[in-house]
Amino acid sequence: MFKRILFFLLLISSLANAQCAMCKAVIEGGDESVAEGVNNGITYLMVFPYLLIGLLLFFLYRHRKKTSN
């Protein structure tokens, strides 16, 4: 089951490569430091959902391991 979830998350992340209109306008009109700042902000915002999902899966795994013994 874990392999299926991991495969699904990797599939979703490879398909999600679009930009919103405002981000695209800022990046095209600005210099390289602005584009780098936008990319860092997007990366920062994307970390937390993955951490939450990872923690949830960890606690589910630990709970199942504890109940199976």
DSSP result, 2-16: HHHHHHHHHHHHHH-
Whether pLDDT at 29 is above 70: yes
Phi, psi of 28 (to 5 degrees): -70, -35
Question: pTM here?
Answer: 0.49
Residue 27 CB burial class (10 angstroms; 0-12, 13-18, ≥19): middle
Neighbouring CB atoms inside 10 A of 9's CB total: 13
- Distance of alpha carbon 17 from its chain centroid, rounded? 12
**For 46-64, what is the mean pLDDT?**
94
Whether pLDDT at 41 is above 90: no
